[in-house]
Amino acid sequence: MAKVTSDYWDKKYEIEDFLYTKVENRFVVEYCSPLKPGRAIDLAGGEGRNSVWLAKQGWTVENIDFSPVALRKYSDYASEVGVASKCLATVADATSFVPQQDQVELGLIGYLQTPGSELKKAIRRLGKHVVAGGHLFGVWHARANLAGGFGGPRDPRVLPTVGFLKRALWGQGFDVVVCTLRDGQIQTKEGLKPSITVVLLARKRG
């Protein structure tokens, strides 16, 4: 799976339902709940399930995604639940974005499934906008999921490892708080199946 285009994602999102549901990711809840709300960027935030959840917790969130269709659904959803004033949207590529909020207390990146060189650029660019003392949190289907796990893409090039994520942050002024594999389950047509996720929480030195 090479880098895909925004047209590819727009077509996937052109359905009435929410492709990734309106339910916030459980790892985002687990790792971001303890953080004091401030400004956040949700990079590749899609239809905004995590952005809206953060806004409900008091964060001012900028969802940056290259799919205008996803961001339209996100903005409508934010209005529907009364948090539109805390939800910004920016159409841009994850490797070259210029955010409306230059400095944020939280950089979130959830399931950006793009080849390693691109993912590293995106993580580093996001990291530059995190203030000293702020956090970067990421979650992905893990490469380890290919061996017996379910869900997510099957191309190893878009599935990060713990080592890759730690290396992506080297020299960027972050201390890694957590970078680990987490076991979970995913709903399939045949019932619940095991699935392996990789999570990264890092704090910017200051």
Ligand X SMILES: C[S@@+](CC[C@H](N)C(=O)[O-])C[C@H]1O[C@@H](n2cnc3c(N)ncnc32)[C@H](O)[C@@H]1O
Footprint on this chain of ligand X (rule: CB under 6 A): 9, 20, 25, 44-46, 49-50, 65-67, 70, 93-94, 110-114
CA gap 18, 73 in Å, rounded: 8
Instruction: Give phi and psi for 192, each to the nearest 5.
Output: -75, 135
CA gap 15, 7 in Å, rounded: 14
- Residue in the shown chain whose Cβ atom is closest to ligand X: 46
Residue nearer to ligand X on the CB measure, 64 or 179 = 64
- Shortest approach of ligand X to residue 123 CB, angstroms? 12
- Shortest approach of ligand X to residue 97 CB, angstroms? 7
CA gap 133, 116 in Å, rounded: 26
- Shortest approach of ligand X to residue 3 CB, angstroms? 6
Residue nearer to ligand X on the CB measure, 60 or 67 = 67
Residue 51 near residue 78 (C-beta atoms within 8 A) = yes
Residue nearer to ligand X on the CB measure, 157 or 173 = 157
Residue nearer to ligand X on the CB measure, 59 or 111 = 111
- Shortest approach of ligand X to residue 92 CB, angstroms? 7
Residue nearer to ligand X on the CB measure, 133 or 195 = 195
Residue nearer to ligand X on the CB measure, 19 or 173 = 19
Residue 65 near residue 45 (C-beta atoms within 8 A) = yes
CA gap 105, 132 in Å, rounded: 8
- Shortest approach of ligand X to residue 158 CB, angstroms? 10
- Shortest approach of ligand X to residue 205 CB, angstroms? 26
